[in-house]
Amino acid sequence: MKLCLFGLFIFLNLLSYSSSKKHPNLRGLKTDPAVNKKNSDFILHVKKAAEHIKIDGLISEPDWEVAEKAKDFRLVLPVDSGFAKSPSEVVMTYDDKAFYLGITFFDTIPGKRITESFRRDFVFGNNDNVLVFFDTFLDQTNGFSFGASVSGAKWDGTQSNGGTVNLNWDCKWDSKTKQYPDRWVTEMRIPFRSVRFKSGADKWGVNFSRLDLKTNEKSSWAPVPRQFATASLAYAGVLQWDKPLPKSKMMFSVIPYIFGSAAKNFESGTNTTYRKDFGFDAKLGLSTSMNLDLTYNPDFSQAEVDQQVTNLDRFELFFPEKRQFFLENSDLFSNYGFASVTPFFSRRIGLDAPVLAGARLSGKLGDNWRLGLLDMQTEKTDNQLSRNFMVAALQRKMFSRSNIGLILVNKEYMDEPLAQNFNRVAGIDYNLASRNNAWSGKLFYHRSFSPENPRKQFAQGASLIYNTRRIHAGMTQASVGENYDAEAGYVRRNGYNMLNPEFSLLWVPNKKVVSHGIVSTANYYFDPNYNQLDHEISLMYKFEFSSRAIVDAGIKDYYILLSQDFDPTHMNSAVLAKGTDYSYQVGFVDYTSDTRSLFNYAATISAGSFYNGNIASFSGHATYRYQPYLNMTMNFSYTDINLPGSFERARFWLLGPKLDLTLSDKVFFSSFVQYNEQIDNMNINLRFQWRYKPVSDLFIVYTDNYYTGNWSPRNRALVLKLSYWFN
């Protein structure tokens, strides 16, 4: 299997390389990456503005009148053929400090436009919106995304892995949206210093995407196949500047903040503790493509709370990073290995001990190299020694869109200088991405170094995925040694070999049923001698309707050989014994309603056998919105587990009422209550945010935790944080 995947990697890369060389416009050893791309014929010429552009949502200046228009948007969904029903027009210009977009979206269907709220980084599918994607280095892999909803809410994020958008990244830019009976209009001003690009370049990659929920159409200027997101940089068109972009001046910005808190731990019986302190984040633009980020005494209290889940698993759960400092160019550090076995996971830093300071150098070195250096220092606490986390990553572009990367992760305990107390991981990854995005994959080998475990400290994996309009097929393989230990990473389990085939086949009739088809996946785990440990096989049939409703139904087959004693409920004193094995099946039905409706919902019902007993569960959410000011959501999960013997029957609810109030694009309030019977806890999180200046905020955050049985308090805290962006 490993040799077959490796051979396919070599063949596909040579095929991709040879097809690039056959392009009629390519001559010589060096080629223009803007020409060597899928949509190279879609070119938008941008001229420098002769006059000042005012961001007022009017698009009335003379420069807009003479600007070339990107129009005739192509359909992406529900089918990727033909043109959108509602016309769209985008114009661009620029000056010495910023570039500007004027966007006009016409309506063909009268009525109220659909919007969720004023909140930044809105949910894409719940709003009429425009998104813009910039491939500033023409590598068809990394970029920046900006957008606006019809209410004027902003969207911004960094792009990696060919187009995946990370919305937790924010930068400083301006926009204004106005609505008219027959159209809505957005103007944007984005400073050059807010994005990274190559000095002297005269081309970027670009695409414009529109979601029009009244016609139920997603469209884009440069055509994108329906199986890919419009964010896919492999299908971006070409942005042709009339002059090469100048080298920008050194950029320096600093965000100082002050914060204070009051906290009381009722479980330990201690008095209320008060804390007041200050810190800062700073960004130094060493070039248009390389940044140095610094932080001192960072406070992450404003980060959104994780949504809890009912845990029936034997292994650690994964929750994504949401803290701003770790996000720009985060793929340089976090995109190694697979999600279940990665050498660096930034959430390991600062959750069990405060971060004292940190620095990150990241960006481009020339056309083909990317560099990332990260160093973070945590403080000493009663429970933890002071630790230093260092990550170094180097990436080299290969062929048309593939790359190879090296990473070194070092976690060092600083309070015992004479002791060998460290954990290190070194690794190499090759990431495959074909020119048309149909083939993708990965090949990696990592090794950990710890003084107490000299053997079997390896992790290795390979994957190959083929994706077309109707067919999705893939195979993933991984092997993890018994002593592989990535303390600064995320390793779900050790000592196994894994195979993960997946296949789906869809039909796209473009009627009331937009698409339907079969989806199958399987995960097989074996011990180092290839004796089976576990498997999970899923088979389902899926329907997507023109109303945007989705329904699927299927069955999952499980086999589990327990490697240690385990309580599936996480609530009983009884356990299933190590070495026992279980086969069971669970049937399920999923339904998602039309998200355009003011009231919408999604639900999953499942029932079947579970280890040596039975399980039934019902989960989902229901949402009502009073647009664009109020969103009310009830997340719910009910689980009933009945195991024989000395196990008590486990019935537990997880309820999460969430309220999101957006009074304007500057004032936000959210309330999130999570009642979790499985862990005997009710958490209350209230968060107020006032964005009084661009990327300058006042946060007031209140958290409270109670036992669900007798409602006695566990702990509570009140935090105030004030920040200001000096640029």
According to DSSP, the β-strands at 43-48 and 88-94 are parallel
Please give the Cα distance from 49 to 402 (Å, whole number).
37
pLDDT at 136 over 70: yes
pLDDT band at 671 (very low <50, low <70, confident <90, very high): very high
End-to-end CA separation in angstroms for the chain: 53
* DSSP-derived secondary structure letter, 233: G
Position 161 scores a pLDDT of: 86
What is d(CA 70, CA 207) in angstroms, rounded to the nearest whole number?
9
Cβ(62)–Cβ(49) below 8 Å: no
Could you count the other beta carbons within 10 Å of the beta carbon of residue 401? 25
Cis peptide before 694 (omega within 30 of 0): no
Q: Which residues contact 188 (CB under 8 A, 6 or more apart)?
A: 55, 100, 101, 103, 132, 146, 148, 173, 174, 175
Q: What is the pLDDT of residue 18?
A: 47
pLDDT value of residue 445: 98
Q: Which two tokens stand for residue 163?
A: 């187009």
Res 395 pLDDT > 90? yes
Least confidently predicted of 320-324, 464-468, 567-571: 320-324
Q: Check if the beta carbon of residue 708 is closer than 8 Å to that of residue 260.
A: no
CA-CA distance, 718 to 437, in Å (whole number)?
A: 48
- Residue with the larger pLDDT of the pair 10 and 518: 518
Burial label for 579, CB within 10 Å (0-12, 13-18, 19+), is: exposed
pLDDT tens digits for range 184-198: 999 999 999 888 888
Place of tokens 């938008």: 44
DSSP-assigned letter for residue 694: T
R_g of the chain, CA atoms, integer Å: 26
Q: Does the pLDDT at position 710 exceed 60?
A: yes
**Any idea of the CA torsion for 127, 132, 135, 140, to the nearest 10 degrees?**
50
Q: Average pLDDT in the 321-343 region?
A: 84
Rounded to the nearest 10°, the torsion over CA 236, 159, 592, 128 is -60
Model pLDDT for residues 590-609, shown as the tens digit of each residue: 999 998 899 999 999 999 99
| Phi, psi values for residue 493, rounded to 5° | -160, 170
Three-state DSSP state, 339: coil
The reported pLDDT for the residue numbered 291 is 87
* Bridge pairing between strands 471-480 and 273-285: unpaired
Residue where the block lists tokens 């972009």: 245
Q: What global pTM score does this model have?
A: 0.87
Please enumerate in sequence order all residues whose Cβ is within 8 A of that of 92, keeping only pairs 6 or more positions apart, or say none: 44, 46, 67, 70, 99, 100, 101, 102, 239
**433 and 421 Cβ atoms separated by less than 8 Å:** no
* Residue-level pLDDT at 510: 78
The pLDDT value recorded for residue 332 is 86
* Amino acid at the residue 98: A
Task: For the chain, give the mean pLDDT.
Answer: 90
β-sheet bridge partners, residue 411? 389, 423
Write down the pLDDT at residue 53: 96
Quickly list H helices, 279-339. Answer: 331-334
Task: Say how far apart CA 465 and CA 498 lie, in whole Å.
Answer: 16
Selection from 114, 248, 250, 110 nearest residue 181 by Cα: 110
Q: DSSP assignment, residue 34?
A: T
Helix or strand or coil: residue 14?
helix
Q: How do strand 490-491 and strand 681-693 relate by DSSP bridges?
A: unpaired
Burial (0-12, 13-18, 19+ Cβ within 10 Å), 138: buried
Give the least confident one: 226-235, 297-306, 488-497: 297-306
Mean of pLDDT values over 203-216: 96
| Phi then psi dihedrals of residue 66, to 5 deg | -95, -5
The answer, yes or no, to whether residue 417 has pLDDT greater than 70, is no
- CA atoms of 138 and 208, how far apart (whole Å): 16
Per the model's pLDDT, the better-predicted residue between 53 and 287 turns out to be 53
**Within its chain, how far is the Cα of 179 from the centroid?**
30
Judge contact between 106 and 69, C-beta under 8 A.
no
The two structure tokens encoding residue 410: 């070092």
Assign residue 301 a region (left: φ > 0; alpha: ψ between -120 and 50; beta: otherwise).
alpha
CA-CA-CA-CA torsion for 596, 597, 598, 600, nearest 10 degrees?
-100
Name the percent of the chain lying above pLDDT 70. 93
- Please answer whether residues 420 and 449 qualify as being in contact, where contact means their C-beta atoms are separated by less than 8 angstroms: no
At residue 321 the predicted structure's pLDDT band, cuts being 50, 70 and 90, is: confident
Give the distance from CA 67 to its chain's centroid: 34
Task: Tell me the per-residue pLDDT of 540-594, one tens digit each, with 9 for 90 and over.
Answer: 999 999 989 999 999 999 999 999 999 999 988 899 999 999 999 999 999 999 9
Q: What confidence category does residue 249 fall into, taking pLDDT thresholds of 50, 70 and 90? A: low
Average pLDDT over residues 147-166: 91
Per-residue pLDDT, averaged over 239-256, amounts to 86
70 contacts 91 by C-beta, under 8 angstroms? yes
Taking CA atoms, 102 is separated from 93, 211, 647, in Å, by: 9, 17, 64
The domain 32-241 is classified under which CATH number: 1.10.1040.10, 2.60.40.1190, 3.30.70.940, 2.60.34.10? 2.60.40.1190
Give CA–CA dist 269/714, Å, rounded: 10
Cα–Cα distance measured from residue 582 to residue 576, given in angstroms and rounded to the nearest whole number: 10
- Cβ atoms within 10 Å of 451's Cβ, excluding its own: 10
Distances (CA, A) of 259 to 190, 380, 553: 30, 21, 49
Q: Compute how many other C-beta atoms are within 10 angstroms of the C-beta atom of residue 234.
A: 24
What pLDDT was estimated at residue 419? Answer: 61
**Which helix (DSSP H) or strand (DSSP E) does residue 639 occupy?**
strand 630-642
Matching residue, tokens 């007798």: 710
Q: How far, in Å, CA of 213 to CA of 127, rounded?
A: 7
Average pLDDT over residues 300-306: 78
Dist. CA 422–CA 431, nearest whole Å: 29
SS (H, E, C) 242-260: CCCCCCCCCEEEEEEEEEE
CA angle 635, 640, 641 (to 5 degrees): 135
Query: What does the pLDDT average to over 399-413?
Result: 93
Pairwise pLDDT comparison (473 vs 110), residue with the higher score: 473
Report pLDDT for 413: 87
Specify the higher pLDDT residue, 298 or 585. Answer: 585
Q: Tell me the three state secondary structure of residue 36.
A: coil
Residue 16 has pLDDT above 70, yes or no: no
Give the residue among 631, 327, 648, 341 at the shortest CA–CA distance from 498.
Answer: 341
List pLDDT tens digits, range 22-49.
Answer: 443 333 334 566 666 789 999 999 999 9
Mean pLDDT of 160-182: 89
pLDDT of residue 520: 98
Tokens 């960072």 correspond to 298
Angle at 314 (CA atoms; ends 309, 530), nearest 5 degrees: 135
φ/ψ of residue 322, rounded to 5 = -125, 0
Phi, psi of 641 (to 5 degrees): -120, 125
pLDDT bucket at 20, cuts 50 / 70 / 90: very low
